[in-house]
Amino acid sequence: MTALEMYTDDLFIGGEWVKSHSGAYIDVTDPATEELWARVPAADEEDINRAVAAAKAAFRGMGWSDIGAAARAEYINRLADEFEARSEQLAAIITSENGTPVMESSQAAKHGAGLLRYYASLADFVDKDDKRPYPGNPKQYTQVLRMPRGVAALIAPWNYPVALVMIKLAPALIAGCTVVIKPASETPLDLRVLMEAAVAAGLPAGVINLVTCTRHSVGALVEHPDVAKVAFTGSTEVGRFLAEQCGRLLKPVTLELGGKSASIVLEDADLSYFNSMINKTCLRNTGQTCYNSTRILAPESRYDEVVEAVASAVRDAKQGDPFDPTTVYGPSASKKQFGTVTDYIKIGQDEGASVATGGSGRPDGLDRGYFSKPTVFANVNNKMRVAQEEIFGPVLVVIPYKNEDDAVAIANDSQYGLGGTIYTKDVDRAEALAARIESGSTGINFFQNNQAAPFGGWKDSGIGTEYGPEGISAYTKLKSIHRTV
């Protein structure tokens, strides 16, 4: 792959690559080198209208909504195969776009294909023959139909630009919806691989469309009268704005937003095991994961031990070239995000937190790229900004607690409620504790989403549910037909 190959002036609309009407472009910078390496069109309202029209035509005119879930599943399984076959190409683009370490980005195609295959397996759930008798009247019943909503707008973030599209695309397709995908401006190229896979898999033209545009133009997509459903992953700030738009239009919306999850380390926890999990559950993808447990809650009796366990895990992890398969921490995804992380590290120091590792300034030997020092703050109280506000970078805080009730109170003292973890040798005790945490998901001694189980945020972390059969409901509407036997 060369930089020249990633300069383009086309969008994927109606099953083919078409030249953008706008004549404007979005530049793409490699965050590890700060070098411009790609360019894509900045679609305008006319481009967006064409994409929605193509999706609408495919929904009814070309029959995607009418062929039944079993037939759609055959297409989806072929799409999964074609997508997974492009794993290396996809990983290289993702890492160039947002600096995700290749150890992470190399899993993107497999993960996305797995989601497609899982939802294809739910075809019978979508087309279930659901007859409901009238209570006390055997001569009448109601046929309940699960109907696709129509054209869905899927708006993706930059941290997991493929995975967080697939979590929306797979249930939308099996439900019978057609889609227009809008990737983040920072990561507009990786989904071109998905479009290539869609063509190779023979998906009908217009079922999947891709438009790259700035956040200033996305309102034309959200507010388009032929868009029946909006799904968004991103910041709480933007999610509020989209919710206001969709609320005014009475348009259903799914929002997976920010987080500031807590990791509760109980007194009996194995700290060597906890140390081995830090970079998987607390700082995954250089801290740029919405459900990361970035607040570590430690018992007062073992506080110093926990601080050292966290600090050593962070200090010992390799930082640098994201294309090195041994790298754990890459750069922040953009210059803007790098500035945010840098500011928060200074805020933590100004608030009086102690730096257990990391701190202000660039890491040694990394004089270019959006790299900041992976940082652990000790002597933090939960009222500090670094404990309350989402940083979305390689920054952890360790907060002491007195007893389990105090730990729960601190964990719940947050505007967010997305994820969380509990570390202990007593998993039954942890399950009872997890039920008291105000978040959509909690892991015991690990955290990993299960594609067969619902995932969604509470409080300011979102509206609605993704994953599992429940994820299909976001893309369907119910119709009751009352009849006699």
Catalytic site positions: 256, 290
- The span from the CA of 161 to the CA of 306, in Å, is 33
The Cβ of residue 383 has, within 10 Å, a number of other Cβ atoms equal to 9
- Range list of H helices, 317-462: 335-350, 385-388, 404-412, 427-434
- The span from the CA of 389 to the CA of 469, in Å, is 32
All residues at 6 or more sequence positions from 191 whose CB lies less than 8 Å from its CB, including other chains: 156, 161, 162, 165, 181, 183, 210
- The span from the CA of 257 to the CA of 239, in Å, is 7
In the structure encoding, which two tokens stand for residue 466, read together? Answer: 């993704």
* Strand-strand pairing, 295-299 and 395-401: parallel
The Cβ of residue 283 has, within 10 Å, a number of other Cβ atoms equal to 26
In the structure encoding, which two tokens stand for residue 54, read together? Answer: 């193509």
- What Rg value do the Cα atoms of the chain yield, rounded? 23
Question: Torsion angle, CA of 431/437/439/440, rounded to 10 degrees?
Answer: 30
CB burial of 399-434 (b: ≥16 within 10 Å; e: otherwise) equals: bbbeebeebbebbbebebbbbbbbbbeeeeebeebb
